[in-house]
Homo-oligomer: A and B are copies of this chain.
Amino acid sequence: MKAIDLTDEERIDWLRLIRSDNIGPRTFKSLLRNFGNARAALDALPMLARRGGATRPIRVWPRADAEREIETARQLGAKFIGSAEAAYPHRLAAIDDAPPLIVARGDLAALSRPMIAIVGSRNASAAGLKFAERLARQLGEAGFMIASGLARGIDAAAHRASLGTGSIAVLAGGHDRIYPEYHADLLDALLADGAAISEMPFGWEPRAQDFPRRNRLISGLSLGVVIVEAAKRSGSLITARFALEQGREVFAVPGSPIDPRAEGANGLLKQGATLVTEAADVISVLEPILGQHEPMSTREPDNEEPTFAGEPDTDVRARIVALLGPAPVGLDDLVRLSNSTPAMVRIVLLELELAGRVERHAGGLFALA
């Protein structure tokens, strides 16, 4: 994927498109592919949703709101960066559901440097905190940016220890809604040599479901993820799962089986995560892949026809709807079973998504919503 620069107008269009109803990162990508640019997609949204069977008009994000958000960002010293732009972290750009736009504050050059995530328990032990600090410091000194989630416990320890070398905070809410609030100072401190990013709008208070969603960005930014202390069913394990799905390295720090805080990390080790007791354990795995190009590619190739396939006839749409159910199925199967063309099936799926009737899953799969 070659980097392009968005014009101010395009940036507004991109922001309006991703903030509109029923549009996630994957749908955004599909719309761009089908309509060539965000403006054309925006124009088509009402018609597509209507044809998909929307019961009420789709809410297209107002231009004024987008302009206001970009102005708010400017005042806060933050920037919107599109996934097609050179300043966008290139590993993050490669994940299936990369946010089309991120808002970034701080030293934006830090986002282009090799990154390692360190995440773990909020209720960490003294040993866990001490180790997270030591590891973050050593990896920082070795030239890696440290990414984490600004939570208390392991996250904060990792950020603090990498303030001087470069620390990246990935937020679950808007840049003006720091969580937890008492880490606002820590966030300010890390902006000098690091950065903070968010995909959420200004003013967005992070809800419970925003944290797992945010975790895919922590792993997506990074060459690998180090889990320092993690209980069973913790957010850190979600980050580890994302890392695996995204083809990132997973590292875990061992702990006593007597300590419940070590259960998650020990479990990852049993599943084959690399055991870490010192920075060298991480570096020796990551160094060989540092020079490599991002191994993951977006699942749908760039060289498909970008042109709008025209309106599908009612017959085709009905056949595709009939084929869909609660279990996710792939585009290829839908093409084959509906006896239609890929372009036609994609448009029907877009219509249904925008109408809120279909959900797009990882791996190019679709299911009824």
A277 to B256, CA, bound (A): 8
A281 to B257, CA, bound (A): 12
Set of chain B residues within 8 Å of A128, measured between Cβ atoms: 256
Which residue in chain B gives the minimum CB-CB distance to A278? B257
Set of chain B residues within 8 Å of A269, measured between Cβ atoms: 254, 269, 275
Q: Given A266-B275, A266-B277, are A257 and B256 neighbors across the interface (CB < 8 Å)?
A: no
Total interface residues in chain A, CB < 8 Å:
22
A278 to B232, CA, bound (A): 15
Q: A251 CB to closest chain B CB, in angstroms?
A: 12
> Are B270 and A281 in contact, CB atoms less than 8 angstroms apart?
yes
Does chain B have a CB within 8 A of A327?
no
Which residue in chain B gives the minimum CB-CB distance to A267? B277
Set of chain B residues within 8 Å of A255, measured between Cβ atoms: 254-256
Set of chain B residues within 8 Å of A259, measured between Cβ atoms: 127
Set of chain B residues within 8 Å of A253, measured between Cβ atoms: 256-257
Does chain B have a CB within 8 A of A276?
yes
> Are A130 and B258 in contact, CB atoms less than 8 angstroms apart?
yes
Q: Mark A337-350, 1 if CB is under 8 A from B, else 0.
A: 00000000000000
19 sampled A-B residue pairs with Cβ under 8 A? A125-B256, A127-B256, A127-B258, A127-B259, A128-B256, A130-B258, A131-B256, A131-B257, A131-B258, A253-B257, A254-B262, A255-B256, A256-B256, A256-B262, A266-B275, A269-B269, A269-B275, A270-B275, A270-B281
11 further A-B contacts with Cβ under 8 Å, apart from A125-B256, A263-B277, are A127-B258, A127-B259, A131-B256, A254-B255, A254-B262, A254-B266, A255-B255, A255-B256, A256-B256, A257-B278, A270-B277
Q: Which A positions have Cβ atoms within 8 angstroms of B?
A: 125, 127-128, 130-131, 253-259, 262-263, 266, 269-270, 275-278, 281
Q: Nearest 7 A-B pairs (CB), nearest first?
A: A254-B254, A257-B277, A127-B258, A127-B256, A266-B277, A269-B275, A255-B256
